[in-house]
Structure 1
Amino acid sequence: MADACKKLKVIIFIGSSREGRLGDRVGKFCKNYLEKTNHEVTVFDPIALDLPLLKKPLHFYKDLSEAPKKLKDSNDQIKAADAFLFVSCEYNHCIPPALANLVDHFPCCSFAWRPSGIVTYSAGIFGGVRCAMQLRALTGELGCISVSNTFGIPQVQSAIDENGTPMNDDVASGIKTLISQLDWMACAMKTQKEKHGIPM
């Protein structure tokens, strides 16, 4: 891997905000793996960020100095990232509203020209696959198109413990496959941007 790609910056977006969510353990698992494989990781958690129901996104402020500091700081982190990882369950077979609300506070251009990875999970047997398909469409429109592999974790309560430790070999191999694709694409896109810029 090229020197510029040795410590990629990745933002993890946590999708769920429900009480008793299992997303905490999945987020820890992904963060632990990324840090062990030499990534710089930032977590965007809708509970911690506590953004209001969307009324005025960052890009609707004519004078950005008037925008909330939380939005400006978060946008700077998004723009500085090399890749994104969306970690989500599904609510009523859809993208959770807290995740959509979080993302919609920022313009597409802040996400564009970087890749994303999708990790979904469920307590049942489907692993959040319907949310994953919707996230494919969302990441495409944001300009951070997802890599081909999606990592779905069924019966997550038996697959990852509360500390984010995998409890079976499938989980350990699944994250490795996804992140290897994400790293390859992130490095390729970063190198291309540095050499040739982005299309106008």
Structure 2
Amino acid sequence: MSILVLYGSYRSDRIGIRLATYLVDRFRARGEDAELIDAKFVDLPMLDRMYKEYPPGTAPASMQKLADQITAADAFVFVTGEYNWGPQPGLKNLTDHFLEHWFWRPAAIASYSAGRLGGAHAAAAWHPILSEMGMVVISSTLTVGPIGETLAADGTPTGHGGETLDRAFTRFADDLAWWSEAARIQRAKRPPPY
């Protein structure tokens, strides 16, 4: 399974990268092809034109590369912090540059915060956004908080929170794998309706 783990903080002290790193490492340990897509380093401009609005061959190179990566992926994991009960603008901006590229594949949401709610409000905000963009959002979610007590700087789980995260990850990954396989089989059997 090819998984893109998408992360969107642009802050200088980015603690959520710990969760993105953890997820990539854990998916790879399961034998999956997981890759981190970091919005800050992809560095797309604020949305002016969607990828599909560029004449063929004229989109910026970073946008073209990401379009190809999204098209090739089996599943997506959106790693989001919570900004005023909502999603991070960097991740939302990256996501909005594409539309049809996301269709007919599953998405999962992993959220975090410095507090005990673990970014649950941002996770709830992402669900209808991803559904509207043509993805099937799996029911399993990960909420990590306080993230500083759950994951070390290198993404290694720590303490009771880290143990809880490890237990929750198994179901999360199994759920995503099931939907990814189901979508892949169905796409091969019959083209999507639009």
Task: Name the counterpart of 1:29.
Answer: 22
For residues 76 and 117 of structure 2, what CA distance do their matches in structure 1 show? Answer: 23
Q: Which residue of 2 aligns with 1:18?
A: 11
Q: 2:59 aligns with which of 59, 67, 73?
A: 67
What TM-score, normalized to structure 1? Answer: 0.92
Q: Which residue of 2 aligns with 1:4?
A: none
Task: Name the TM-score, length of structure 2 as normaliser.
Answer: 0.95
Partner of 1:9: 2
SS in 2 for 1:84: strand
CA distance in 2, matches of 1:114, 1:20: 32
Contact 2:47 2:97 in 1 (8 A): yes
Structure 1 residue ranges (4+ consecutive) displaced by more than 2 angstroms after TM superposition: none
The answer to whether the 8 Å contact 1:129/1:152 transfers is yes
Query: Deviation at 1:195?
Result: 1.3
Q: Matches of 1:17 and 1:27 in 2, distance apart?
A: 14
Q: Residue in 2 aligned with 1:39?
A: 32
Superposed, which structure 2 residues align to 1:93-108 within 5 Å?
Answer: 93-106=85-98, 108=99
In structure 2, the partner of 1:176 is 170
Root mean square deviation, CA, Å: 1.0
Q: Secondary structure at the match of 1:66?
A: coil
- Residue 163 of structure 1 is aligned with which of 150, 154, 162? 154
Give matches, 1:114-193, under 5 Å.
114-167=105-158, 168-193=162-187
**Identical residues among aligned pairs (%):** 30
3-state SS in 1 of match to 2:57: helix
Partner deviation per Cα, 1:159-200 (whole Å, 9 max, x = no partner): 011111111310101111111100000001101111122123
How many residues were matched structurally?
A: 191
Deviations for 1:65-102, whole angstroms, at most 9, x for unmatched residues?
A: 11112111110110110000001111111111101111
Q: After superposition, give the CA deviation of every residue in 1:99-134 in whole Å (9 maximum; x if it has no partner).
A: 11111111x210000001100011101110110011
Residue 15 of structure 1, CA deviation: 2.4
Answer yes or no: is the 8 Å Cα contact 2:8–2:40 preserved in 1.
Answer: no
Q: Deviations over 1:24-53 (max 9, x none)?
A: 111110010010001111211111111111
Contact 1:136 1:145 in 2 (8 A): no
Separation (CA, whole Å) in 1 of partners of 2:51 and 2:58: 10
CA contact (8 A) 1:12 1:27 kept: yes
TM-superposed CA distance for 1:142, in Å, is 1.1
Which blocks of at least 5 consecutive residues in structure 2 are unaligned?
none
